[in-house]
Chain A
Amino acid sequence: MMSLALKSLWFRRGSMALTVLSIAISVALLLGIERVRTQAKENFAGMVSGTDLIVAARGNSVQILLASIMHIGYPASGVSEGAVQHVCSNRNVAWCIPMVMGDSHRGYRVIGTDLMMFDKFRYARNRGLSFREGVVFDGTRKAVIGAQVADGLGYKLGSKILVTHGAGGESLIEHSAAPFEVSGILAPTGTPVDRAIYVSLEGYEAMHEGFGGHENIDPLADADHAEEKSVSAVLVGLKSRAAVLGLQRSFGEYRAEPLTAVMPGDTLLELWQLTGIAETALVWISGVVVVIGLVGITTNLLASVNERRREMAVLRAVGAGLPQVAGLILGEALLLTAMGVALGLALFQVALFCLAPVLQARYGFELAAGGILPGEWARMGWILLAGGLVGAIPAYRTYKRSLSDGISIRI
Chain B
Amino acid sequence: MGTDAPIAAVELSDVRFGWRGASSPLLAISSIRIERGEKVFLAGPSGSGKSTLLGLMSGVLLPQAGSVRVLGQAWESMSASQRDRYRADHLGVIFQMFNLVPYLSVLENVLLPLKFSKLRLGRLAQPEREARELLELLGIGAEMLGRPAGELSVGEQQRTAAVRALLGQPEVVIADEPTSALDADNRDAFLELLLVEVGRSGAALVFVSHDRSLASRFDRVVELADLRAEAQ
Question: Does A410 lie at the interface of the complex (its beta carbon under 8 Å from any beta carbon of B)?
Answer: yes
Contact B81 A318, beta carbon cutoff 8 Å:
no
Residue of B60, B100, B102, B104 near A316 (CB, 8 A) is B60
Contact bitstring A316-344, B, C-beta under 8 A = 1, else 0: 11111111100000000000000000000
- Contact between B113 and A318, CB atoms less than 8 A apart: yes
Are B103 and A406 touching (Cβ within 8 A)? no
Instruction: Judge whether B55 and A11 touch: CB under 8 Å.
Output: no
Bound-complex Cα distance A324 to B85 (A) = 12
- Nearest B residue (CB) for A405: B60
Tell me if A253 is interfacial: C-beta within 8 Å of chain B: no
Chain B residues near A323: list those with CB within 8 A. 81
Tell me how far the C-beta of A226 lies from the nearest C-beta in chain B, rounded to whole angstroms: 81
* A10 in the interface (beta carbon within 8 A): yes
CB distance from A406 to the nearest CB of B (A): 4
- Say whether A8 contacts B80, CB under 8 Å: no
Q: Are A7 and B103 in contact (CB under 8 A)?
A: yes
Point out the residue from B51, B60, B93 that lies within 8 Å of A318, measured CB to CB. B93
B58 with A407: CB separation less than 8 A: yes
Q: Which residues from chain B contact A315 at a C-beta distance below 8 Å?
A: 101, 112
Interface of A is mostly: helix
Contact B104 A408 (CB under 8 A): no
Interface centre among B51, B81, B101 (most CB of A within 10 A): B101
- The distance in angstroms between the C-alpha atoms of A133 and B95, with both chains bound, is 83
Closest to A317 in B: B93
A31 to chain B, nearest CB (A): 32
Whole-angstrom CA separation of A322 from B113 in the bound complex: 15
Task: Report if A319-B100 is in contact (Cβ < 8 Å); known contacts: A407-B93, A408-B51.
Answer: no
A406 to B51, CA, bound (A): 10
A406 to B62, CA, bound (A): 11
Interface residues of B (CB under 8 A from A): 51, 54-55, 58, 60-61, 80-81, 84-85, 87-89, 91, 93, 95, 98-104, 108, 112-113, 116-117, 148, 164, 176
Closest 6 A/B residue pairs (Cβ): A319-B88, A11-B103, A319-B116, A321-B84, A406-B60, A317-B93
